[in-house]
Amino acid sequence: MMLLTEQQEMIQKVARSIAKDYIEPRAKEVDETGEFPWDNIKIMAENGLFGVHVPEMYGGVGSDMVSHVNVVEEIAKVCGSTSVALSTQALAIAPLLIAGTEEQKKKYVTRLASGEVLGSFGITEPGAGSDVSSVKTTAVRDGNDFILNGQKLFITNAGESEIYIFVTRTSEDRTKGISLFIVEKGTPGLSFGKNEDKMGIRGSVTREVILENVRVSEENLLGAEGEGFKILMNVFNETRPVVGAQATGIAQGAFEYCLNYVKERKQFGKALHQFQMTQASLSDMAMKIESSRLLVHKAAKMLDNKDPNVIRYASMAKCFASDTAMEVTTDAVQMLGGYGYIKEYPVERMMRDAKITQIYEGTNQVQRIIIANQLINQ
Ligand SMILES: Cc1cc2nc3c(=O)[nH]c(=O)nc-3n(C[C@H](O)[C@H](O)[C@H](O)COP(=O)(O)OP(=O)(O)OC[C@H]3O[C@@H](n4cnc5c(N)ncnc54)[C@H](O)[C@@H]3O)c2cc1C
């Protein structure tokens, strides 16, 4: 475990106790009903968990990314669905902090950091997934306004969020034609599709978003016109370690449950943990989780130090931790035998929740491309 400062330790403790007292007891129900856990959002907001890394002047706690990844790990350990609300909020806050004007930060970040409202980031479209630069949603200037038209897919918290950042096209240039806009819920022409029926993180909302002649003022342009792609790449550097933390939490939760189980369960006259093959699995799981956590912390510390070499480490943290989460949760199911496959036991939910961490914020194939590019070209 990395050495934490007094403040980082205190924040981690708060997150751990909220996770244990409020979020863990509801995790099974949240997964089964698929209901958006507004009660969990409220308790996390009341305790400042949405703005741990955000400066105090913008409504945050004023700590750092290390604290933020610790909070996400603690919540993900007990409920993957609830942790997605935290990581998505960070995804919405990041472009505002990176590229927002002072006025935009005061107006939007303050409300997001306090958890008073939720935010979403709309990048993906039916034809633009891994290839972000092929987005087709347009933003056309009309006097001092822009008019937005297009369709976004798989947008987390869409419909529940009040503040949206959309990736749009303001000119034909593949990357320099991309611009970001802030749109508030209730703006005429902004509407939402049905909540997708998902494999895991079932308590998290994922919806299509439709933009039909959505008129926004040029004050809603986030960053300069044509700077959107550059901002987006910087956003991912900040948010990929957060997905890594989420994956580490899910893996840790499954591991702890599995460890207790193999101490209790007896077969062939012995507790399962006495078999060497079980011991080897436990060791492998623990080594991979610890390595994931170290990578996540390394990337978080690099972000805190504004280290420009963070790109490859952000991708490594996300990729390694999410591959680990998938492996560890699958192994946990295996080590519980038939019981692992039954919904009464949480490792089944954790295995389903782990899968998305290999897919969103850039699939793990995309992360490997980024890491290789960095290794070869830097
Ligand atoms: C639950 C959920 C929540 C999400 N939340 C959001 C959100 O809040 N905001 C948002 O904008 N998006 C969100 N997404 C979208 C998500 O980020 C994309 O699904 C993801 O980036 C992959 O895009 P795609 O689904 O179009 O897959 P594709 O890009 O079509 O990829 C399909 C497969 O091809 C592989 N592939 C693609 N290109 C290459 C290549 N060059 N080399 C090797 N393999 C390649 C991919 O790795 C993948 O395995 C969410 C998705 C889900 C499922």
Q: Are 165 and 125 within one domain?
A: yes
The pLDDT assigned to 1 comes to: 55
Across-strand partners of 206? Answer: 156
| Closest atom of ligand 1 to CA, residue 158 | 8
Q: Kindly give the distance from the C-alpha atom of residue 362 to the centroid of ligand 1, in angstroms, as a whole number.
A: 6
Residue 261 lies in a domain: yes
Of the candidates 229, 235, 214, 211, which has an alpha carbon nearest to the alpha carbon of residue 96?
Answer: 235
| Closest atom of ligand 1 to CA, residue 369 | 42
- Angle of helix 346-356 relative to helix 80-99, nearest 10 degrees? 30
CA atoms of 185 and 30, how far apart (whole Å): 25
Q: Are 250 and 351 within one domain?
A: yes
Q: 10-residue block means of pLDDT along the chain (378 residues)?
A: 87 98 98 97 98 97 97 98 98 98 98 98 98 97 98 98 98 97 98 96 98 98 98 97 98 98 98 98 98 98 97 98 98 98 98 98 98 93
Q: Are 134 and 164 within one domain?
A: yes
Closest residue to atom 53 of ligand 1, CA basis: 154
The residues near 66 (Cβ < 8 Å, ≥ 6 apart) are 2, 4, 8, 297, 300, 301, 304
3 state SS of 340: helix
Q: What is the DSSP string of 270-332?
A: EEGGGSHHHHHHHHHHHHHHHHHHHHHHHHHHHHHTT-TTHHHHHHHHHHHHHHHHHHHHHHH
C-beta of 159 in contact with ligand 1 (< 6 A)? no
End-to-end Cα, the chain, rounded Å = 30
Q: Specify whether the CB–CB gap between 113 and 237 falls below 8 A.
A: no
C-beta of 151 in contact with ligand 1 (< 6 A)? no
The residue among 211, 226, 241 that closes a domain is 226
The residue among 175, 196, 226 that closes a domain is 226
Q: Are 96 and 125 within one domain?
A: no
Q: Are 103 and 205 within one domain?
A: no
Q: Specify whether the CB–CB gap between 353 and 203 falls below 8 A.
A: no
Q: Kindly give the distance from the C-alpha atom of residue 154 to the centroid of ligand 1, in angstroms, as a whole number.
A: 9
Q: Are 241 and 372 within one domain?
A: yes
Residue 328 lies in a domain: yes
Query: Based on the structure, what is the number of domains in the chain?
Result: 3
Residue 57 lies in a domain: yes
Q: Are 263 and 357 within one domain?
A: yes
Is 24 catalytic? The answer is no
Q: Which of 125, 160, 348, 361 is catalytic?
A: 361
Q: Kindly give the distance from the C-alpha atom of residue 363 to the centroid of ligand 1, in angstroms, as a whole number.
A: 6
Using the 8-state DSSP alphabet, how is residue 196 labeled?
P
C-beta of 75 in contact with ligand 1 (< 6 A)? no
Which amino acid is it at 61? V
CATH number at residue 183: 2.40.110.10
Q: Are 164 and 210 within one domain?
A: yes
Query: Torsion angle, CA of 297/283/332/239, rounded to 10 degrees?
Result: 10
Residue 61 lies in a domain: yes
Range of the structural domain that residue 309 is part of:
229-377
CATH number at residue 11: 1.10.540.10
| Closest atom of ligand 1 to CA, residue 91 | 8
The pLDDT assigned to 3 comes to: 83
Residue 1 lies in a domain: no
